[in-house]
Amino acid sequence: MTLDWTKLLQSAYVKDKSHNGIQDMRIKKYDFDYSRRTFIEKTAAGGASGGLLAALWPSISASADTSKAYPDELLDIETFTRGQVKVGDTINKDNVFLVQDLLDPITFQQVMQDGRTFHIQSSEHNAETMFPPYFLDASIRNQGQAKFGVDGNVYTKTGEPWIGGLPFPEPKTGNEAIANITLSWGRHDKCIYATPAKTVNPDGDVQFEYDWVWAEQQCAGLVHPDASGPYLKGYEDLLRLQTIWFTHTQDVKGHAFLSKWKYNQKEIPALFGYLPNLKRVRRFPSNQRFEAYMPGMNLYLSDAWSSGDPMLTWGNFKIIHRGPMLTSSHSQWTPENENWRPDLVGGAKNETYFNVGKSLAPEVIVFEGEPIGYPNAPVSKRRIYMDVRSMGGGMSITYDRNGEVWKGLEGGGGQLVSGSQSINAKDGRPEWSWAWAISHDVQKNNVTRFHHAKECKGNWESALDPDENIVKNYMTKQALRRLGI
């Protein structure tokens, strides 16, 4: 049976409820409603930083321990649910109501109506597991140095482009929140992601299949110790360069696209593409940002990292909610699986979604923005769910021009450590990256799922801060032609 997702989600909103359950007999300094009351007060007042018992970022800077900023009930799922949900439990349609207030509405309906399940993980409180190591170093080193200029862009106190790490580790506004995501997507100076993807239709059949390679080069805010400074020489006017090229299937193989982002966030990135059938590179219009790269994909340029457009081409950002949430923010890498792909679950044939874990995050900011720079965009707003500890967007929900839920982009990631296997940075510390993503068009009920793989077709392999000139190799018009051959 095809689900009417639009009808199911018409009343989607962020909500808070008090919790019912067995009486807790322990004497506590903070009762179970303390967090709820405080989050409501913080959201209403505005201008609040992360943490309830103490400011979050000073705790991270001092010891990387995020637990000191929150009461016990927000640090453990069993305590939060008064014993009704425990680590190791599987959440399915029979018990999802126990955690409904901790889920976004799309994930909740996937579990309720489409057979999706997920398992409960223990909570993680060490901030070092939530960032690439050099990015965290820069965030701590450069805290307090960011400001918005009169033009709306982020600068240092001395008026220079941003120098690396989170510009606003304690965001008090929606503008500060979106800047934390937009100024560095993958949080590495350069990265290459080999990415297999499949689009599954409402009947559970794989309708489209692709492999692509996604490459990013930061031009401002460089953080790797091998970098000569915070800016890429010769590209000081840019924020980033980003290329995607398709290696599978045969009908899309050779298509390649390059985006050049100016540091000025009011400028729409120049988009160039190589089309094999025309055997030439052409420039694409700005409205291409709201169209699928290839037929059947739910992923658009605008969707990338929940902030695929320059932040000043969107506006009216506002924080609408703060509270706990179940997120996929650690232990998501599965190197023991073939090509690192997570197991599958749910949908008509039990192969629509990734079967992943979620743990209790003590505080998530929910904020919204509108595409003010795109008058013909098919989007009215985007709602982003951001973990306050890492400033990462684990879920974004896009609304169509009628204000109805259109699609959700959910992602999971964490340190690249699993058992005895790990990927380490140059200094030996564990690396961090995204692991998987699910883009669900709820109006068509199509799901595009893709993951950060070891490799993809065409013999391309993933790499974080690789020792090669990826600008020369992948991010010029000449490189697009080579990739398209």
In total, the chain counts a number of residues equal to: 485
* 96 DSSP 8-state letter: G
Least trusted range by pLDDT, from 18-32, 224-238, 252-266, 278-292? 18-32
Least trusted range by pLDDT, from 15-29, 45-59, 277-291, 324-338? 15-29
pLDDT at 438: 98
pLDDT, mean over the chain: 92
CA 137, CA 201: separation in Å to the nearest integer? 43
DSSP 352-367: SEE--EEEEEEEEEEE
CATH of domain 129-251+297-465: 2.50.20
| CB-based contact 404:10 (threshold 8 Å) | yes
pLDDT at 71: 95
Residue 21: pLDDT over 50: no
% helix, strand, coil for the chain, step of 5: 20, 35, 45
Cis peptide leading into 249, omega within 30 of 0? yes
What pTM, to 2 d.p., does this model score? 0.93
pLDDT at 288: 81
Give me the mean pLDDT over the 61-90 stretch.
Answer: 96
Cα–Cα distances (Å) from 198 to 83, 251, 252, 340, 439, in that order, read 38, 15, 13, 15, 10
Neighbours of 445 (CB within 10 A): 20
Residue 161: pLDDT over 60: yes
Per-residue pLDDT band at 7 (split at 50, 70, 90):
very low
Per-residue pLDDT band at 32 (split at 50, 70, 90):
low
Cα–Cα distances (Å) from 70 to 56, 136, 289, 364, in that order, read 9, 21, 40, 13
CA 263, CA 237: separation in Å to the nearest integer? 6
pLDDT at 411: 98
pLDDT at 400: 98
pLDDT at 308: 97
pLDDT at 29: 55
Per-residue pLDDT band at 23 (split at 50, 70, 90):
very low
pLDDT tens digits along 102-113: 999 999 999 999
pLDDT tens digits along 341-383: 999 999 999 999 999 999 999 999 999 999 999 999 999 999 9
CA 332, CA 411: separation in Å to the nearest integer? 10
Backbone angles phi, psi at 102, to 5 degrees: -105, 10
Report which of residues 270 and 2 the model is more confident about.
270
pLDDT at 485: 64
